[in-house]
A and B are shown apart, each in its own frame.
Chain A
Amino acid sequence: MPPAAALQIVPNTPEPEGKRRQVRFRGRSFMALVLTPEPPTDDWLAELDALAARSPGFFGDRPVVLDVSAIKASPRTLAALLGQLESRGVRLIGVEGCDPKFLDGPNARLAMPVGGRAAGELSAPEPGSVATGSLVVEQPVRSGQTISFNGDVTICGSVASGAEVIASGSIHVYGALRGRAIAGSAGNSKARIFCRKLDAELLAIDGVYMTTERLDAKLKGKAVKAWLDGENLRVDALD
């Protein structure tokens, strides 16, 4: 996932006294995970449990939208399903794909208008890649591939132009970094990025990002480390 795009309009001039204050609005967009249950729901829930077991924290604090259009839910089955998801700690922010009248009581707030812009498939973690706080990737990361991991990521080969590595911890690349590296993705300002040969398209730590256009040209092709100094992303040569 790219760093969430946020647009804010904040007043920066003091209001003249005696004038009526205007109500200001802020627009902000968030990336929500859309879950689409498929019938039979019991099997689908079992699959969801397997996914959660493989990668604890996959749902974490992510906002989730439930699209029930595939299961033809009745008010009763829908309430049961919402209960099941709640007991698994899935944070629903909305339900779509059913008659809003089906949602009653405390669930009524979940009804949402149809809309939203598709942001592509999010790949579920591969079986076997149990989150252990560290992931080692032996193969080069090819253009178009995304490595997303809850913890530190070590890449033995190169990260190609058009590839991205997203880690909630730090990122280490022992080859050339030509794509994107997004460290501290779940909010960790201590995360760092290291690479042996810097030619990246984008570096980001804890949502603060930098394209290489803004980077010191002297660092290109060098072994570097990147870290967060307050609100500034700093990049320096390792030797």
Chain B
Amino acid sequence: MAEVLVVTSGKGGVGKTTSTAALGAALAQTGQSVVVIDFDVGLRNLDLVMGAERRVVYDLINVVQGDANLNQALIKDKRVDSLSLLPASQTRDKDALTAEGVERVINELKGRFDWIICDSPAGIERGAYFAMRHADLAVIVTNPEVSSVRDSDRIIGLLDSKTEKAERGETIEKLLLLTRYDPVRAERGDMLKVDDVLEILSIPLLGIIPESPEVLKASNLGSPVTLANPVSAPSRAYLDAARRLRGETIEMTVPSEKKRLFGSLFGRRAA
């Protein structure tokens, strides 16, 4: 049975697209078949982070409007066989999405994949609404910072009222993914601590992704961080989160990079 997962946050720039790519790749690395869908029509990014920007011919809007079929639009990842991308259109806007079209696409994908991961655009408008509409499960990406936490809270309220599942009277499962976390700064009081965020949002924790230059490096290489450098701290955190999504119980830790003497002595030279 396919699981439809939405990665959402309300606020922009907190790491939705990065997390979609990393979790999608991590699930695919465990042998699951995964499709990641970019719902940010007009401002697409997921193709870049996945390193597929030069392979886009047809996109989500073409399929939604019936101008292309899924086989034409799906882009298979070159590194992991079981990972596919359904890109957004860059030339259209969110008005091109239709309720019937999106529903048809999701239903068709359910027959082909184990995981359908919808990368939501920021905001609470049309694009975000369609991204969450058919979800069974939501991953709320939040930075340890007050505006991000409040926007996440707003999105949780919408997930509980606007999704298909909520309208049927069921509850949609919501999991918190805390990104860009820096334990040292949290301890100093420069950012919110894990417990502060959990107390405000009161949803279960899926994972804590430490702040790391590896994330930006991977994005610029056009690779999900879990594929670019699987042993880096953020990758280990994402791989753990993916295993938790599959139902495994794994102790919650904040992975950190190993400090090397030479790294700290010569690490800055190239900068």
Q: Interface of A with B (CB < 8 Å)?
A: 139-140, 142-145, 157-158, 160-163, 176, 178
Tally of contacts, chain A with chain B, CB under 8 A: 35
B153 and A160 contacting across the interface, CB-CB below 8 Å: yes
B5: chain A residues within 8 A (beta carbon): none
Known: A144-B154, A162-B154. A139 touches B200 (CB 8 A): no
Q: Is the CB of A142 within 8 A of B200?
A: no
Q: Which of A142, A160, A176 contacts B160 (CB 8 A)?
A: A142
Question: In this complex, what residue of B is CB-closest to A144?
Answer: B154
Q: Return the chain B residue nearest A157 by Cβ.
A: B202
Which residues of A lie under 8 Å from residue B4 when comparing CB positions?
A: none
Residues of A within 8 A of B146 (CB): 161
Q: Report B149 CB to chain A, min CB distance, Å.
A: 8
* Chain A interface main SS type: loop
Given contacts A160-B150, A161-B150, A162-B150, contact A145 B157 (CB under 8 A): yes
Taken together as a complex, chains A and B put the C-alpha atoms of A19 and B7 apart, in Å, by 72
Q: List 24 A-B contacts (CB under 8 A).
A: A140-B202, A142-B153, A142-B156, A142-B157, A142-B160, A143-B153, A143-B154, A143-B157, A144-B124, A144-B153, A144-B154, A144-B158, A145-B157, A158-B200, A158-B202, A160-B150, A160-B200, A161-B146, A161-B150, A162-B150, A162-B153, A163-B153, A163-B157, A176-B200
B interface, over-half SS: helix
Within 8 A of A (CB), among B167-215: 199-200, 202
Are the CB atoms of B153 and A161 closer together than 8 Å? Answer: yes
* Interface of B toward A, CB cutoff 8 Å: 124, 146, 150-151, 153-154, 156-158, 160, 199-200, 202
Distance in angstroms from B15 CB to nearest chain A CB is 20
In the complex, the answer to whether B200 meets A144 with C-beta atoms within 8 Å is no
Contacts of A160 in B (CB 8 A): 150, 153, 200
Q: How far is the CB of A188 from chain B (nearest CB, A)?
A: 28
Residues of A within 8 A of B153 (CB): 142-144, 160-163
A161 to chain B, nearest CB (A): 5
Across chains A and B, which 8 residue pairs bring their CB atoms closest together, nearest first?
A142-B157, A143-B153, A143-B154, A144-B154, A160-B153, A145-B157, A142-B153, A161-B150
Rounded to whole angstroms, the CA-CA distance of A144 and B154 in the bound complex is 6
Q: Which residues of B contact A144 (CB under 8 A)?
A: 124, 153-154, 157-158
CA A201 to CA B116, docked complex, whole Å? 39
What are the residues of chain A within 8 A of B200 when measuring CB–CB? 158, 160, 176, 178
A162 vs B154: C-alpha distance in the bound complex, in angstroms?
8
- A176 partner residues in chain B, CB cutoff 8 A: 199-200
Q: Hey, which chain B residues are within 8 Å of A139, CB to CB?
A: 160
Known pairs A176-B199, A178-B200 / 12 extra A-B pairs, C-beta < 8 Å: A142-B153, A142-B156, A143-B151, A143-B153, A144-B124, A144-B157, A144-B158, A161-B146, A161-B150, A162-B150, A162-B153, A163-B153
